Structure 1
Amino acid sequence: MERMTPRIAPPPLPTFRARLHDARTATAIGRWLGLALMVCFLTGVTSHYLQRPPDWLADVLPSRPTWGYRFSQGLHVASGIAAIPLLMAKLWAVYPRLFVWPPVRSVRHALERLSVAVLVAAAVFQLFTGLLNIVEWYPWPFSFVPVHFAVAWLLAGALLLHVAVKWPDIRAHWGRRSEGTLELPAEDKVDRRSLLTGVAAGVAAVTLTTVGQSFTPLKRLDLLAPRHPDHGTQGLPVNRTALAAGVSTATARDWRLTVTGPRSYTLPLAELRALPQTEVRLPIACVEGWSVEAGWTGVRIRDLLERAGAPPSSRVRVVSLERRGAYRVMEMGAAYAEDPLTLLALRLNGQVLSLDHGFPARIIAPNRPGVLQTKWVAGLEVL
């Protein structure tokens, strides 16, 4: 006679009785997280279009204020970093709902679960890949910039859908205290106010110890940021070295600037240095979030283009000596090319450019991402 195997009952689903896993706590943290994600999204879109403008936008992007990109990108990175502890706290407050049974109760509930799944996945992807981008570590096979930009729109759409579906609950818990807030069970140990204070303290801590890389009055507190605005060759950080770009002193030894236009010409370095020089103070702001203001000396781009016979409102293509790199060739819209602050810089803070900072010549322009401040310039082409 066959022996019957006793059936083992499945383990019960976990239950969560802590009062801090409630809608009021989730709504309070969600307000902060939503604001951080909104700021991060808007500044990220701004950064993307400044960094990779479509053809129709290239000539209308403004070159002023000179600090515009520095402010926008610094705020983008700061809000993204601040959103990480907020996201973790938000997930802690709502994760018991993942075990709700049955998983789908109605069409509205299905939309809610779908919006939450997409929202959480997109938020985790965006924040943690963005964090790895700050430290320039790319352990993935895809190109970061287009994927990060695409998922940002997915995240924004999922957030709007989630708010629309959950709006009755959000409105109900937006401004009132949940009953019994002051009489929490002893096992909870801390009340909601203590939790929110701790979350706020965590956000403040990660912000204050990283934002100094772009907001230089706080640079002394810049403990966790991967860059310090004063550390680097000639007092500026360097993201891409000459060695990484395949540029050496030998490469630049016989350098001549080629300007291509209706009246093309070439200039050796000695003749370029003999031209009227302009001194400006402009920030250089990197997409990774660090920025610092410096003194630059060089020849105005518009003077070089005018000498080549460039018609008014011309764009310019800039070609670098570097052998490889996504930004070896860069195009500059008319507003930047005509701005008197846009230079082919030869000196940094009174010193000849070091090789890592673009010797013999580099671009410096106002309100421009650092990746477009092309180093080791070999040629300018009127478009």
Structure 2
Amino acid sequence: MKLPVLRPVFRGGSHDARTATSIGRWLGPAFAVCFVTGLVSHVMQHPPGWLADSIPSRPVWGYRLTQGLHVASGTAAVPLLLAKLWAVYPRLFEWPPVRSVRHAVERASVAVLVAGAVFELTTGLLNIAQWYPWPFSFVPVHYAVAWLVIGALVLHVAVKAPVIRAHWTRRAPGTLALPPQDGPDRRSLLAGVGAAVGAVTLTTVGQSFTPLKDLVLFAPRHPDHGPQSLPVNRTAAAAGVGRIDAAHYRLVVAGPRTYTLTLEELRALPQHEVELPIACVEGWSKSARWTGVRVVDLLERAGAPAHARVRVVSLQPRGGYRVSEMGPRHARDPLTLLALRLNGGELDPDHGYPARLMAPDRPGVQQTKWVGRLEVLA
């Protein structure tokens, strides 16, 4: 005798289409903001050749805003995604698993969407903590999977458009009312999700939105913690630099008229002070006062043409960001400095002593520390 297949039965307002749609109204915009701001960050760090000379240097807080939104929206998406999966996971037990071509497309898009979303949020959170327990390079893989997720999301929304439309409003026509006992289930779930989103946002966003810095509990960086009250990601020791001897330091500016400067000669040049935020890809940021020599003055002394790009080379012996490049907009911006001082004091070794790059609207990983060479590129 063939035994019947027992499958779980799910009842209640927390597992119906209206609940899933309600959560999706929050989750969709969170994913969209996270994707767009992540795309901006990727282009600014790895601009394609045709765009490399057009990356803007203003507003000075541009990268701070976009990357802060990227990490905040990604963090907020974690409880939203968990709640969404809770609302829809009974669908995994549907039988038969595929009923039509449309149903097959829907299930395939959901599989890619769920797997990709879990991967993106998990690796993104671990990147914020600077923990990389995987063998692949984070940046290109995270970027590629983001396109898969957004494509699967668009496909999923297109396939589910009739259901979403039917349940979008609180009193959508043509939908069945829930049994009275199920109303509190949905309201409690949505209230709990909203509270969770608010809690994780308020306790992490202060790492970039400094008025809320006193509420930072779970962010890996506090904007006031670090040498000279400014966080660091890579210390001088971790970069293999250590303390650089001022007497032996030389800055080489290579161009049509190559020249070399000692640290004392750099300090003797006209000094300028600017207030600029340092904004890291991990989501933290803070404004500080930087003092140093304008990069445009160094370039003009080397005979650099107005359209030239600039390569900035660090004294650190290794690392993916020991070399960075700037287009003419950043290189010739009067706020772009080879900074020698931070908040009125000499740069700490962990902040790039004796000299570091500081430019407006630029990712922190490209604000090269321990600068030893500026190269004018044709």
Range class of TM-score, shorter chain: over 0.9
TM-score, normalised via structure 1 length: 0.95
Q: Which residue of 2 aligns with 1:306?
A: 300
Q: Is the 8 A contact 1:209 1:223 kept in 2?
A: yes
Residue equivalent to 1:228:
222
TM-score (norm 2): 0.97
Which of 36, 54, 57 is matched with 2:48 structurally? 54
In structure 1, how many angstroms separate the alpha carbons of the residues matched to 2:246 and 2:119?
Answer: 41
Conservation of the 8 A alpha-carbon contact between 1:212 and 1:221: yes
Matched residue, 2:196:
202
Q: Give the superposition deviation at 1:250.
A: 4.7
The match for 1:368 is: 362
Structure 1 distance, partners of 2:247, 2:77, is 48
Superposed CA offset, 1:95-128 (max 9, x none) = 0000000000000000000000000000000011
Q: Which residue of 2 aligns with 1:3?
A: none
* Amino acid corresponding to residue 38 of structure 1 in structure 2: A
SS in 2 for 1:302: helix
Pairwise CA distance, 1:11: 5.2
1:10 to 1:360, Cα distance in 2 relative to 1, 3 A: farther
Rounded to whole Å, the distance in 1 between the matches of 2:195 and 2:22 is: 15
Residue 217 of structure 1 aligns to which amino acid in structure 2? Answer: P
> Match for 2:85 among 88, 91, 113?
91
- Provide the residue aligned with 2:282 in structure 1: 288
Equivalent position of 2:120 in the other structure? 126
Contact 2:244 2:354 in 1 (8 A): no
Offset at 1:193?
1.9
Contact 1:41/1:152 (8 A) holds in 2:
yes
Residues 214-265 of structure 1, C-alpha deviation per residue, up to 9 Å, x if partnerless?
0000000001100000000011001000011110225665110000000000
Change (3 A) 1:335 1:205: same
Conserved 8 A contact 2:244-2:353: no
Equivalent residue in structure 1 for 2:352, among 352, 358, 363: 358
Taking the aligned partners of 1:250 and 1:369, their CA distance within structure 2 comes to 25
Separation in 2, partners of 1:250, 1:146: 33
Q: Is the 8 A contact 2:17 2:167 kept in 1?
A: yes
Confirm or deny that 1:105 pairs with 2:122: no
Deviations, residues 42-77 of structure 1 (Å, cap 9, x unaligned): 000000001111111111010000000000000000
Q: Which residue pairs with 1:342 in the alignment? A: 336
Q: Which runs of 5+ in 2 are unaligned?
A: none
Q: Which residue of 2 aligns with 1:164?
A: 158
Contact 1:320 1:375 in 2 (8 A): yes
The 5 Å alignment of 1:7-156 reads 9=3, 12-156=6-150
- Point out the more displaced range, 194-203 or 155-164: 194-203
Partner residue in 2 for 1:382:
376
Deviation of 1:10 after TM superposition, in Å, equals 6.5
Per mean C-alpha deviation after superposition, the further-off stretch among 172-181 and 145-154 is 172-181
CA change 1:114–1:263 in 2 (3 A) is same
Corresponding residue for residue 4 of structure 1: none
Is 1:258 the equivalent of 2:252? yes
Q: Which structure 1 segments of 5+ residues have no match? A: 1-6
CA contact (8 A) 1:287 1:371 kept: yes
Q: Quote how far apart the aligned CAs of 1:299 are.
A: 0.3
d(CA) in 2 for partners of 1:8, 1:328: 67
Percentage identity across paired residues of the two chains: 72
Match of 2:186 in 1: 192
Residues in 1 aligned to 2:334 and 2:8: alpha-carbon distance in whole angstroms: 66
1:315 aligned to which of 301, 305, 309: 309
What code does the residue aligned with 2:180 have?
E
Judge conservation of contact 1:341–1:366 (CA < 8 Å) in 2. yes
Give the Å deviation of 1:9.
3.5
Confirm whether residue 275 of structure 1 aligns to residue 272 of structure 2: no
RMSD: 1.3
Cα pair 1:181 1:191 within 8 Å, conserved: no
Q: Give the Å deviation of 1:181.
A: 3.9
**d(CA) in 2 for partners of 1:12 and 1:122?**
30
